[in-house]
A and B are shown apart, each in its own frame.
Chain A
């Protein structure tokens, strides 16, 4: 591995996160192999401990990923690379990714879109990261058997994406802080301790970098709807 000498501050941060990620990925893959019994049979107690380990590694991995995205946003190192993007494909990938979580929590997922969806000129990696964060939050902070509604509306010069849930909502007094770095609403902290407090900060930063805008409506214990407006052409 290259040494960190003579690197600019932002590069040093990327380097440090890279260094952190490598052992995390290796730990994750080793835990996967052990859980599948590929290195010998494991007993139920070992399986339970390994699942806890796998979950902890997953959380650490997410945290490092979020810190890396935050460092890129803060240092202006996002380097948006627009291309013609098929939204059907993006949504298909995102829904496939979250299907196991949706099934596990017995949520109902509804996806509404126009019959003919035009392509969008944007950076697909960042669009996907925005949707990933919003949908993941909706699933996580909606009690079991909830309803998650995704929709896309194509207007003349922009798309409007919405992610709506009937979950715990965001307390009114804390709504102004929701896009702040490391901020987590009180009810979210009570519900789960594996959030990083960076997801919505990243979503907001990425949305701006794509020339878009993000906002929300929320009522505590009723649900939240996030809106994301994205120009058709970057």
Chain B
């Protein structure tokens, strides 16, 4: 049922760790979401040029252009500035969170605090807001 409810929603998953992005993608798809995957910020920007997802699942630590720089670029682009974004990070770095709040992101998740099912359910709640 949950799967059907989510089937029209697309999440752009921006996560560089291959092991993590594989398991998160698998789980999101099990929950019924369509998943677009980017392993770095440049790939994410290319995807955003062609598709507008319902939500961006953003890891803040990325190689090359950082997650925060990517966030800034998304907010500065008229086409993508209002997209829902959830920052999902390995640790709660306060300064980085403060910067993210300046870019209107209020949803932060610390990966180690969650099992993956709970995390996906909480992210689903953002989509339904």
Binding stretch for chain A, among B2-10, B45-53, B91-99: B91-99
User: Residues of B within 8 Å of A, CB-based: how many?
Assistant: 23
Cα(A65)–Cα(B111), bound, Å: 12
The distance from the CB of B26 to the nearest CB of chain A, in whole angstroms, is 8
Assess whether B23 is in contact with A33, with CB atoms less than 8 Å apart: yes
Contact B63–A32 (Cβ < 8 Å) = no
Question: Which chain A residue has the least Cβ–Cβ distance from B89?
Answer: A18
Interface size for A (C-beta < 8 A) is 24
A168 and B65 CA atoms in complex are apart in Å by 51
Q: Which residues of A contact B1 (CB under 8 A)?
A: none
Q: Known contacts A1-B61, A32-B115, A65-B112: does B94 contact A26 (CB below 8 Å)?
A: no
Main secondary structure of the interface of A (DSSP, over half): helix
Whole-angstrom distance from the CB of A157 to the nearest CB of chain B?
A: 26
Smallest beta-carbon distance B48→chain A, Å: 22
**What mask results when residues 16 to 47 of chain A are scored 1 for a CB within 8 Å of chain B, else 0?**
01100111111011101100001000000000
Are the C-beta atoms of A25 and B111 separated by less than 8 Å? yes
A8 at the interface (CB under 8 A from B): no
Which residues of the partner chain B approach A30 to less than 8 Å between Cβ atoms? 19, 23
Q: Do A22 and B93 form a contact, CB below 8 Å, given A33-B23, A61-B112?
A: no
A29→B27 CA distance, assembly (Å): 10
Asked whether B23 lies within 8 Å of A18 as measured between CB atoms, the reply is: no
B61 touches A26 (CB 8 A): no
A220 to B17, CA, bound (A): 47
Residues of A within 8 A of B (CB): 1-2, 14, 17-18, 21-26, 28-30, 32-33, 38, 61, 65, 68, 78-79, 81, 125
Q: 29 A-B Cβ contacts within 8 A? A: A1-B16, A14-B91, A14-B93, A18-B61, A18-B90, A21-B90, A21-B111, A23-B17, A23-B19, A25-B111, A26-B17, A26-B19, A26-B23, A28-B115, A29-B23, A29-B24, A29-B27, A29-B115, A29-B116, A30-B19, A30-B23, A32-B116, A32-B117, A33-B23, A38-B30, A68-B91, A79-B98, A81-B98, A125-B94
